[in-house]
Every structure is written in structure tokens, then in C-alpha cells.
Structure 1
Amino acid sequence: MMKIKVYNQEGKIVKEIELPKEIFELKINPNFLHQVIVCQMSNRRQGTAHTKTRAEVSGGGRKPWPQKGLGRARHGSIRSPIWKGGGVAHGPRKEKNYKKKIPKKMRRKALLMALSSKAKDKELILLDNLEIKEGKTKEMAQILEKLKIKGKSILLALPSLDKKIILASRNIPKLSTIQAKDLNALDVLNSKYLLMPLSSIEVIKKTFLK
């Protein structure tokens, strides 16, 4: 079993624990992870990019000049894609759906691989407890500074919804919060460090090891 140090909010080591191998010691398959993450990124696309075709741009119903006799190139509309202010050829259309279905087992396996990767690369930081008294940004900033990860990209996984922690975290650049039950491979691997209290591991067990 993999051992990891547990810190308090002062940044001091309080104990060492063994991580559950069914969560943090999976064999990592990069191709599998890539497949799931690409799907998750696609599912977050809004698909709102939209361009008008020559038929949708207003104007251009009349031929700009006669076909013959002027010595100019022939044109049928000033809204042709080759004209400035004309329609767009082959541009994005908002009706496109980027959603991709990912089986639940694949999502879970990818998450556990991502967690295993963080543990293996020493990018998992565990706290014995996380408590914010006033919901002030300063409180969270001090904790990150004592853990020597301030200014880094961090995902904070909470065991449950804690308004004070979320308030204290939301103005800190590169720090994102998520409930442990909502963890996913994309968010875990998008951050340099995964920070969580010990109680979050129990939530992960109950949610993803059914």
C-alpha cells in the first residue's frame, strides 16, 4: 500500500496513512484516460458558435452589375462568401451537438486512474481537517501558503457543501472547489495539485466504489 503524509492547516505533518489501493493504486492507461477526457471536454462545449450563410445575410438579392459589357468580374450577389460582409462558407452552426456518451464504468475508472496518478506523482495533499471560521479569503490563502502551494493550480475536493470554505476560496486565482462526490478525471488532471481533507476519501469510497 502507498503511504502518504497528512498535514494540518498549519502545514505541519501530523501523521502518515496508507491510501486505499482500490482508489489510489490503479494501473494508469494513458490512452483510456485520453479517450474519457476528450469526451468530457466535448460534453462541456456549449455549441453556441454560429455564422450566417449567404442566404441568411441581409441584402444581396440583386445582381450588383450586368453580367457582360463592363469588363468586370461576374458576380451574382454582394453577399457571396468571397465578398467582404458576405456570408460564411462552411462556418460553425449552433445546431451542432458535441455531446458524447460515456458509460458510467468508464467515467469511474478514469477518475480512479486520475487519482492514482496524483498520488503517484506526489500531487495529492491530504489535510487532517479543513475548517474556515469566517469565510474570508485571507484564511484560505494562509492555509495554502503554509502548505507551500499558494499560486499553484489546485482542486479542493470537499466532503460536503461548505459555504464558508467556498466563500474563502472563490477569489483565489487557480483554486477551484468541488464536492468529492462530483469528482471527475478532467477536473482532477486539469489541476497541478489535488487538496482534500481525509473525510473526502470516505465520500469517494461510498460514491465510486459501489
Structure 2
Amino acid sequence: MADIKVKLYDFQGKETGEEILDPKLFGVEADPELVHEMVTAQQKNSRDVIAHTKGRSEVRGGGKKPWRQKGTGRARHGSIRSPLWIGGGITFGPTSSRNFGVKVNKKVKQKALAMVLSDKVANDKLVLVESYNMPEAKTKVLQTAFSKLPNKNRPTLVVTKNAEENIVRASKNLPRVETINFGSLNLVDLMKKEYLVINKELLKKVSEHYL
């Protein structure tokens, strides 16, 4: 199998060489069904359960029997919070105790991630830079750099680490740019953005973390 190579740039957009990538992470053949399955699982696991209705035992009031059982000519009732009454509890309504999460095999999840990263490389959507030369959190500096790099201010996901606050802060004013910690790479964020920008140091960390 031929080496998987990607061009290397400085932060001014000048090509400075090539870097060989690990085929286990950047040379995996795509399986659309598997990727779709893992994306769906991620979305389910991140779903917030908001809708919640109260049953008759949760609705306030209704402890007293509204009228006596016999002799009134009216239908018998035990509580004004019965689901039959306006303002009563809801029968079989949605509750916040529902769990939409699904179990995901770790190896399968990592394989799907490798497929998406491999697709970025195959389509020249991975931009590798020597380093993020950002001594200050200046949006203009970051915008200028991206205008000279292959992503050309297209929708971009920038891989960072905790210590790189300048690039994180500078990117907040760029509507098509998002940052993500190298340890939090995931299918949904990768697929939402057209380009992935990463530096040499973090490329090594990503390979160590996900293999």
C-alpha cells in the first residue's frame, strides 16, 4: 500500500513539505452504512429529554373527593386531577425519565471516525500546518491565515488543545469556523464542516489518542 501523504503548510499559507499519515487512521475504506449508524447513535446519545407531562399523582391538588359517591345523580369521581378532567393528569404522556441513548462499541466508533478522517484526506479537505502562529487572539490574523490556506475561509473545524486559547478566542468571530479539542473529535462535528485544520503536534496526539 502506497504511503498516505498530505501537504504541510506554514501559517502564512506557504507549502513547506509533506507529511506521511498513519493508514490505520487516515487510510480506512469508507462504509457509509456504518458511519450513518454511528452518527445516529451520537445524535441519540446527545439528545436532551425536555418534554415532560405530569400524571394524576404529580398534578397539584385533587386530594379530596369532589362529591360523595352516591345520591347526587352525577357520575362518580375520586379526584379532580383524574385524566378525564380539564387540568387533570396526562395519561401515557412524555416524561423526562425517558432514555434515548444507545450503546456503542468503542472499536466500531473509532473505526467510523477513522473513515471520516480518511475521507477528509482523500478529498484534500485536511489542512496540515506546522503550528498555529497566534501570539495574540486576533480574529483578523486568523482570517488572513485561512484566506491563504487551502480552506479559503470555507466551513472549517480547527483542532486545538487546552493551552491554545488565542486561536479559540480568535475563531469565535468567524461564523464558519469552529474549534474542537483533539480529544473530543466526533463524527457529527467533522461532517458538519468541509475542512479540518490541524497542526503537526496535534496530528501526532490524535494518532496516539484514537489508535
Q: Same fold (TM over 0.5)?
A: yes
Equivalent residue, structure 1, for 2:39: 37
Residue from 84, 101, 104 that aligns with 2:103: 101
User: Is the contact between residue 161 and residue 179 of structure 1 (CA under 8 Å) also seen in structure 2?
Assistant: no
Equivalent residue, structure 2, for 1:122: 124
Look up the SS of the partner of 1:134 in the other structure: coil
CA distance in 2, matches of 1:168, 1:124: 21
In structure 1, give the amino acid aligned to 2:47: R
In structure 2, give the amino acid aligned to 1:149: K
Residue from 150, 164, 179 that aligns with 2:181: 179
CA gap of 1:202–1:86, structure 2 versus 1, over 3 A, is same
Equivalent residue, structure 2, for 1:157: 159
* Structure 1 residue ranges without an equivalent (≥5): 64-75
Q: Stretches of 4+ moved more than 4 A in 1?
A: 52-63, 78-91
- After superposition, the C-alpha distances for 1:72-120 in whole angstroms (9 at most, x for unaligned) are xxxx9x9999999887676532111122221221221111111001111
CA gap of 1:132–1:95, structure 2 versus 1, over 3 A, is same
The within-5 A match list for 1:84-99 is: 91-99=93-101
Equivalent residue, structure 2, for 1:69: none
Equivalent residue, structure 2, for 1:136: 138
CA gap of 1:49–1:149, structure 2 versus 1, over 3 A, is farther
In structure 1, give the amino acid aligned to 2:18: E
CA distance in 2, matches of 1:84, 1:6: 68
CA gap of 1:159–1:58, structure 2 versus 1, over 3 A, is closer
CA distance in 2, matches of 1:29, 1:101: 20
In structure 2, give the amino acid aligned to 1:165: I
Q: TM-score, normalised by structure 1?
A: 0.78
Look up the SS of the partner of 2:158 in the other structure: strand
Q: Identify the range of structure 1 (5-14 vs 54-63) with the bigger mean alpha-carbon deviation.
A: 54-63
Q: Identify the range of structure 1 (53-62 vs 10-19) with the bigger mean alpha-carbon deviation.
A: 53-62
Equivalent residue, structure 2, for 1:70: none
User: Is the contact between residue 154 and residue 191 of structure 1 (CA under 8 Å) also seen in structure 2?
Assistant: yes
Look up the SS of the partner of 1:161 in the other structure: coil
CA distance in 2, matches of 1:122, 1:97: 39
Count of residues in Structure 1 that have an aligned counterpart in Structure 2: 204
Look up the SS of the partner of 2:115 in the other structure: helix
RMSD of aligned residue pairs (Cα, Å):
3.1
CA gap of 1:92–1:193, structure 2 versus 1, over 3 A, is farther
Paired-residue identity, %: 34
CA distance in 1, matches of 2:132, 2:83: 58
In structure 2, give the amino acid aligned to 1:184: N
* Structure 2 residue ranges without an equivalent (≥5): 67-76
In structure 2, give the amino acid aligned to 1:163: E
In structure 2, give the amino acid aligned to 1:194: L
CA distance in 1, matches of 2:85, 2:16: 69
CA gap of 1:199–1:52, structure 2 versus 1, over 3 A, is same
User: Is the contact between residue 128 and residue 198 of structure 1 (CA under 8 Å) also seen in structure 2?
Assistant: yes
Equivalent residue, structure 1, for 2:48: 46
| Distance apart, 1:190 and its partner CA | 2.0
User: Is the contact between residue 107 and residue 184 of structure 1 (CA under 8 Å) also seen in structure 2?
Assistant: no
| Distance apart, 1:157 and its partner CA | 0.9
